[in-house]
Amino acid sequence: MARCFIGIMMPECSKAKITSIQNSLRRLPIACKMVERENLHLCLSFLGEVEENEINEICRKLDEISQRYKQFDADASEIKFIPNEGYIRVLALGCSNPLLETISKNIKNEIDGDAKPPHITLCRVKSIEDKQKTIEDIKKIDQDAGKFTVSSIQLIKSELRETGPIYSVIHESKLS
């Protein structure tokens, strides 16, 4: 069994901007665990525990889905409160290209998984002091991580360790 998700590992040029946003969040009274720079990714669908004998079929279907799309640009530019501002478990950057949502829905329908709107997790929140003021302060942060090019989609394995997860790309499906 392997814990897996389907996503897009972020390019280095985007990671610098995203870590700058994370650094702004670190200055706020939020108890959280930031996603490590090397693990920054755009999540399309969380699959959970996958049997080893299912991985080849997932890769084949991911290749089929990827071939329907040409390379495109996406924009990461707005902090999202997941599931909502009343109960914040995750702070993430939303991505505004409708193609990402279409691809995510195709993955959910043809492969499965838990498909949330495409997002880049910044941190997992444990607690927030003075939530209303902190939310206001979050909204004042420069949230523009800029554009990045989507040229492939990856099946990614997540190994949980005491020091945090280690992500490794199992399969990469190039867009046409």
Active site residues: 41, 119
Phi, psi of 61, rounded to the nearest 5 degrees = -65, -40
**Comparing C-alpha atoms, which of 100, 84, 89 is closest to residue 45?**
100
Measure CA 118 to chain center: 7
Q: What span, in angstroms and rounded, lies between the C-alpha atoms of 16 and 119? A: 17
Residue 83, preceding peptide bond in cis (omega within 30° of 0): yes
